[in-house]
Chains A and B, each alone.
Chain A
């Protein structure tokens, strides 16, 4: 079975307005920049974005979800911090963009829960803070915990280094971050990679994200300088 798509534009052409989309990446590493640019060109708007940070635009280098934020395509962002992204802060302060803030490990686990068939989990993270407001509480082993609910999406736009044609993925260094967990939690998982190899090219022990989770693979057309 060949999951390779011809272009990033083709791979994102059915993402509708108002879709909930997970974006892999942490700061400037591991974001699906070609898929994000293709989505910008396609014109999808009203997006609920789930990701670690909104990306940024610094010294003329634009990365991450910021490409879509700049074009006002994001309605709501579920993430961990604003990364001092000035345009994100402007839209947030102006009430143009909603921001649901979640501690990073809990964001990852909420996504994992959705992908792993769990209906939530209890944690003491943030249980004694403002973050616990409106969350169900339970005392476990003497600690007050809050119930955190799963987080799923319609699409996930991921970036890996290499894929085989069945969608097994391998990442490099810190470009892994949220990508593997997001692969399990979206209805349609689209992975952009720098290289595509034949099935059987990988040592099975080395696969980071098994192909079962991945629906579409596409080779990234252009990688903009990041330094």
Chain B
């Protein structure tokens, strides 16, 4: 890909970008769907333990061939591997880690995020609710990243002044990583930290409902390893 050409990030590139937020020694919970591949892009030299709420701290990645084990499976019947030092436990223990504030970072998918950091990811009115463990997670982990596409399939903003969908938690999001931008949630509102290749702050603002502050250190989102 030619550097500087205007394009949104792919899901893999978003996962790479989120992985840069992981610090040495972190225990990181990854939500279903878009966040899971983050586990594959933890930077070299960083020791991190991946937590998934079905009862494991220390997920390696997707198991292949003879390493597939029917007792070590994730969402969507994905066979998993465990890293050295991993531990497996019950749902009670898995959520003690999350709700008790022992997990350093959680990455969740989202339908909408507000300028105050409210996150909506469980209910579209008229549809079947889908909580999983999200309500236990938000507001209880030390840091929360919302990972989503910047706009809906119809092109409508998902970063809003106020969520129009029922919220999962109020003021719970610390950082928003989309295919177009990295945006920090602060007490004074949203700050644009990074933009996708070729995107100007004006182009990001055009698809973002609340007013964005532009970081003085605004950077291009890193898309290469």
A residues with CB within 8 A of B? 26-30, 52, 56, 58, 61, 63, 80-83, 89, 92-93, 99, 101-109, 112, 123-126, 128-131, 161, 171-181, 208, 223, 226-227
Contacts and interface: CB of A to CB of B under 8 A. Distances in A.
Contact of A128 (B54, B133, B169): B169
Contact of B71 (A107, A124, A129, A173): A173
A171 to B, nearest CB: 8
A177 B91 contact: yes
B166 A29 contact: no
Contacts of A178: 90-91
Contacts of B34: none
B167 interface: yes
Interface of B: 52-56, 68-77, 79-80, 82, 88-92, 94-95, 98-99, 123, 128-136, 139-140, 166-170
A26 B55 contact: yes
Contact of A105 (B76, B79, B133, B166): B133
A104 B70 contact: no
A104 B95 contact: yes
Given A104-B136, A129-B167, A173 B131 contact: no
Contact of A81 (B73, B80, B130, B166): B130
B130 A108 contact: no
A106 B132 CA distance: 10
A103 B136 contact: yes
Contacts of B68: 227
A149 B89 CA distance: 24
A123 B76 CA distance: 30
Contact of A108 (B80, B91, B132, B169): B91
A99 B169 CA distance: 22
A177 B95 CA distance: 11
A52 B91 contact: yes
Contacts of B77: 27-28, 56, 58, 61, 63, 226-227
Nearest to A105: B95
24 contacts: A27-B74, A29-B54, A29-B71, A29-B72, A29-B73, A81-B130, A82-B130, A99-B129, A101-B130, A104-B131, A105-B98, A106-B136, A108-B92, A126-B135, A129-B167, A171-B88, A173-B56, A174-B72, A175-B70, A176-B89, A176-B90, A177-B91, A178-B91, A180-B90
